[in-house]
Chains A and B, each alone.
Chain A
Amino acid sequence: AAGVIQSPRHLIKEKRETATLKCYPIPRHDTVYWYQQGPGQDPQFLISFYEKMQSDKGSIPDRFSAQQFSDYHSELNMSSLELGDSALYFCASRATSGGQRTQYFGPGTRLLVL
């Protein structure tokens, strides 16, 4: 079965640089979520989109922005990167039809800021 695809899988950036993470949800999933997991931490919700509109916002820094496109893929744009942004970034997707509540996670993008 198709899973959530995230690219790139690994990314190394310098401080103050920008990064763009991409997420391709499971086919027919209309909702996308972004989570950030720092080293040794639990995943923290950043932002979500439903039908290309932002549906909820968590502890996402102002330096970050995200959007969902017409094909339902999503991109997380991160600017002025800081050392503390080094983390594993997960995208998850779910289908809202049929009362589905389970979010399926992608493999994550491991970002290292030097």
Chain B
Amino acid sequence: AQKVTQAQTEISVVEKEDVTLDCVYETRDTTYYLFWYKQPPSGELVFLIRRNSFDEQNEISGRYSWNFQKSTSSFNFTITASQVVDSAVYFCALSEGNRDDKIIFGKGTRLHILP
């Protein structure tokens, strides 16, 4: 069965600090897709990144970076030089490679960036 675990329920950091959000996943499929979504206080779900199981290349996008490691089934997300606007709930998510590709979300990490 597929499962996503975000062990950090809530994190608070001071603005400009770096912060890493952890994500560990479980799946029996060899082909799967990992996602990070951001949910700001307004409630919408904003897509941040998708990673395919066959592509372990890490990625950097501005202040955001992602570290995908199949050996430890982890897909961690780092925000560098955090800003108050980064305050949100961040969901790590997984979908398997078959046709029925529903997304399974982790419980989310609520991130507070303090000014």
| Residues of chain A at the chain B interface (Cβ within 8 Å) | 33, 35, 41-45, 48, 50, 55-56, 58, 88, 90, 92, 101-108, 110
Contact = CB atoms under 8 A, between A and B. Distances in A.
Nearest to B42: A107
Contact of B91 (A42, A103, A106): A42
Contacts of B105: 42-44
Contact of A110 (B43, B99, B103, B107): B43
Interface stretch (B11-19, B45-53, B63-71, B76-84): B45-53
Nearest to A108: B43
A34 to B, nearest CB: 10
Given A101-B50, A101-B52, A55 B100 contact: yes
Interface in B87-115: 91, 95, 99-108
Interface size class of B (residues with CB under 8 A): 20 to 34
Contacts of B35: 102
A56 B105 CA distance: 16
A105 B47 contact: yes
B104 A105 contact: no
A88 B43 contact: yes
Chain A's interface: helix, strand, loop or mixed, by majority?
strand
A56 B95 CA distance: 13
Given A42-B91, A42-B107, A104 B102 contact: no
A33 B104 CA distance: 12
A46 B37 CA distance: 18
B45 A43 contact: yes
A90 B95 CA distance: 17
Nearest to A42: B105
Nearest to B45: A105
A105 B44 contact: yes
A41 B43 CA distance: 12
A101 B33 contact: yes
In order of increasing CB-CB distance, the 5 nearest A-B pairs are A56-B100, A105-B45, A42-B105, A45-B102, A107-B44
